[in-house]
């Protein structure tokens, strides 16, 4: 594993993303967001689309977890769902590529196992991260050979409905850490400095924090609702 990726150990990765319907949607803005994150002490960035990643790479020399979010009519998988998204990311070569590693079938009815096998055959030297929603999915991705596993999707799938990352002192993360052979990156609703510190103490390789840092509309909403 290269030095840039090793530098993530025990440190903060900031997710700089804005979807088309969100007010900050723009590669220019996400680039500046990454600069601000670096100034604040982040050592890595998670970003969506090759355009945003290219802009971020031009401004900060930090390792990037790259994804492409795209909806397909025949699948619930939207995080780097097909080879088309992998190819787009390989144009900008982020240090790590993340993808949905839940049990859902990908577009065209493709299983995760078949898709990951195809991707690894084509790009054997690329590092990959599994975005999972249950302990079982994370351990399956670990078996498949993902370099990093993460509980990113907890609470966002049918099989993880009602589950929360931080419940019972991060029970889901602790169970993954207990059995996974590969590195665990904590991600998903880690919305306080205390929670970020705790997952590192438990043994996670690194921690990704997103909305609470980079989505002002959601941060504002929390304050506004508290006053209503």
C-alpha separations of 200 from 52, 173, 196, 222 in Å = 28, 11, 7, 26
- Average pLDDT over the chain reads 97
Give me 125's structure tokens. Answer: 């030297």
What pLDDT was estimated at residue 89? Answer: 98
pTM exceeding the 0.85 threshold for the entire prediction: yes
Burial environment of residue 53 by CB neighbours within 10 A (0 to 12, 13 to 18, 19 or more)? buried
Tokens of 146: 């993902």
| Domain ranges within the chain, ordered by starting residue | 3-227
CATH architecture of 3-227: Alpha-Beta Barrel (3.20)
pLDDT (average), residues 19-44: 97
pLDDT tens readout for residues 195-223: 999 999 999 999 999 999 999 999 999 99
Query: Residue 1 — pLDDT band, cuts 50, 70, 90?
Result: confident
146: left (phi over 0), alpha (psi -120 to 50) or beta: beta
Mean pLDDT over residues 119-132, rounded? 98
pLDDT of residue 77: 98
Q: pLDDT band at residue 162, thresholds of 50, 70 and 90?
A: very high
Q: What percent of the chain has pLDDT over 70?
A: 100
> What angle (nearest 5°) sits at the alpha carbon of residue 67, between those of residues 179 and 188?
50
């Amino acid at each position: 594993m290269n030095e840039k990726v090793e530098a993530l150990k025990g440190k903060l990765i900031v997710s700089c993303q804005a979807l088309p319907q969100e007010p900050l949607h723009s590669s220019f803005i996400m680039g500046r967001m990454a600069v601000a994150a670096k100034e604040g002490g982040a050592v890595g960035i998670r970003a969506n689309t090759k355009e945003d990643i290219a802009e971020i790479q031009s401004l900060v020399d930090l390792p990037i977890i790259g994804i492409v979010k795209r909806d397909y009519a025949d699948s619930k998988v939207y995080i780097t769902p097909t080879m088309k998204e992998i190819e787009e990311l390989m144009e900008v070569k982020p240090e790590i590529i993340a993808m949905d590693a839940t049990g859902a079938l990908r577009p065209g009815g493709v299983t995760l196992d078949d898709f990951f096998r195809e991707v690894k055959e084509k790009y054997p030297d690329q590092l990959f991260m599994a975005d999972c929603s249950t302990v079982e999915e994370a351990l399956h991705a670990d078996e498949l050979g993902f370099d990093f596993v993460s509980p990113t999707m907890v609470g966002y799938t049918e099989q993880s409905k009602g589950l929360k990352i931080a419940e019972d002192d991060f029970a889901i993360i602790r169970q993954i850490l207990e059995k996974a052979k590969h590195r665990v990156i904590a991600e998903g609703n880690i919305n306080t400095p205390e929670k970020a510190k705790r997952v590192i103490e438990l043994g996670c390789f690194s921690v990704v924090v997103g909305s609470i840092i980079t989505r002002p509309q959601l941060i504002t909403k929390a304050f506004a609702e508290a006053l209503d």
